[in-house]
Copies of this chain bind each other. A is one copy, B any other.
Amino acid sequence: MSILIKNILLDNQQRDIFIQGNKIEKIGEHLNMQADEEIDGNGKTVLPGLLNMHTHSAMTLFRGYADDMPLQKWLEQKIWPLEAKLTAEDVYWGMKLACLEMIKTGTTTFADNYWFVPAGAKAVEEMGLRAVLAPPFFDLFDARKRKEAIKQTEEVFQESKNFNPRISFGLGPHSIYTVSEQGLRWLSEFAKQHNLFIQIHLSETKKEVEDCHERYNKRPAEFLDSIDFLDKNVLAAHSIWLNKNEMDILTKKRVSVAYNPCSNMKLSSGIFNYSEAKKAGLNITLGTDGCASNNNLDMFEEMKIAALLQKLDNPENLPADECLQLATQNGAKFLDLENGIEEGKLADLILIDRQKSFFTPGHNFISDIVYSAQGDCVSDVICDGKVLMRNRKVEGEEEILRKAQEVVANLLKR
């Protein structure tokens, strides 16, 4: 399978891009090559596919179910009771809906943390995206629950060997306040043994820091360091309440963090300290979090809000070009993904339709991408060398919208 994109703008130059298999084989002017498929790039600009580095995709099913509530009440009265009734089929359609939304808004890779991983993986495989899927791991400091969680993790890990190569299995310890030291140690060992990514919520709330101090007499990242948990395979979502020492520890251990501005604002979690994290040298990625606390998966909107939130104190903080890096190369760095519009790199790319008021007059394309555009500027999406969206049409989208409504209607009746 080969694709030839003709006359596309790349770094302000008109180029042709030839894709063979799942790689960008050739970039040049007026390429004279035969391809199975040709895409007219006129009026469009190519960018690498975006990476959404922290989400709970199938929570698309809970979009708008409960808002404007304090975190604990929201979780205990609304989200958890409904989650308890979820089936694999629900998650399959929730994930299909999430993938559809990510494709429509230019995301080609995502790091996910949710239940029923095999059902999710089936949806991701069908939709064509790249993902790390991690089942949540909770033991609530209970030996019996830990045993059960370990058993489940091992089972899904075995199943994951049959997943499409675009999909990696990851480990998803929920947090240091829901997983015991023994649980975390087991996960860390299991990850090393099988070369797996770990995604954990870290220092999301001030309370987490206080509770950690009480339990372990250490701050969250210091505690994780003390049990040898931190390594370059670890992605720490939120990481809002890190102090300078914790940032230095994470940097030294080559941990990456995921900044989730919409969710952090909506749940009053706090403001990620981007400037200090950058100064410490941390690899900072960007994520939307789940649709229950955002309420969409549009990384364009997330980039804008990411930058604006950092500017509350200083307008020079998190400029547009850095913000785009958060959503592209920093995520790729964590995943060790050969991503970018260069020969030999993976063919994960998105075409941006510049024929929109948001890109007019066009003083600065990167500024327009971050501050002005929204996900609907994406006209075409290619992931792993396959076209997932053509002129904003994704195969089967009507069915996905219909089925997602159906499974939710049934879920609410259960």
Contacts and interface: CB of A to CB of B under 8 A. Distances in A.
Interface of A: 60-65, 67-71, 74, 97, 100-101, 104, 262, 265-268, 271, 291, 294-296, 298, 301, 304-305, 307-309, 311-316, 318-320, 355-358, 360-365, 367-368, 371-376, 398, 400-401, 404-405, 407-409
A301 to B, nearest CB: 7
B357 A68 contact: no
Contacts of A268: 311-315
The 3 residue pairs across chains A and B that have the minimum distance between CB atoms: A64-B367, A361-B408, A265-B308
A327 to B, nearest CB: 16
Contacts of A97: 357, 360-361
B401 A357 contact: yes
Nearest to A406: B361
B265 A311 contact: yes
A372 B291 contact: yes
Contacts of A313: 268
B360 A401 contact: yes
Nearest to A369: B64
A389 to B, nearest CB: 12
A371 B68 CA distance: 11
21 contacts: A63-B360, A63-B372, A67-B371, A68-B319, A69-B315, A97-B357, A97-B360, A97-B361, A101-B357, A262-B308, A265-B312, A266-B307, A266-B315, A268-B311, A268-B314, A294-B371, A296-B371, A298-B374, A301-B374, A360-B404, A363-B408
B62 A363 contact: yes
B360 A311 contact: no
A306 to B, nearest CB: 11
Nearest to A296: B372
A362 B316 contact: no
Most chain B CB inside 10 Å of its own CB: which residue of A64, A305, A319, A401: A64
Contacts of A312: 265, 268, 271
A314 B270 CA distance: 10
Contact of A374 (B62, B309, B375, B404): B375
Contact of A316 (B69, B357, B409): B69
Contacts of A60: 357, 360-361
A368 B305 contact: no
Contact of A100 (B296, B357, B367): B357
A405 to B, nearest CB: 5
A116 to B, nearest CB: 17
Contacts of A409: 361
A314 B71 CA distance: 10
A104 B408 CA distance: 31
Instruction: Pick from A61, A68, A358, A373 the residue with the most CB of B within 10 Å.
Output: A68
Contacts of A374: 298, 301, 374-376
A313 B101 CA distance: 29
Given A315-B68, A404-B360, A368 B262 contact: no
A295 B369 CA distance: 10
B265 A361 contact: no
B405 A361 contact: yes
A398 B354 CA distance: 12
A130 B401 CA distance: 35
Interface centre among A304, A318, A320 (most CB of B within 10 A): A304
Contacts of A74: 315
A300 to B, nearest CB: 9
A225 to B, nearest CB: 29
A129 to B, nearest CB: 14
Contacts of A400: 357
Given A68-B320, A265-B311, A296-B373, 17 more contacts: A60-B360, A60-B361, A63-B360, A63-B361, A63-B363, A64-B364, A67-B371, A68-B311, A97-B361, A101-B357, A101-B358, A266-B307, A268-B313, A291-B372, A295-B372, A305-B305, A356-B401
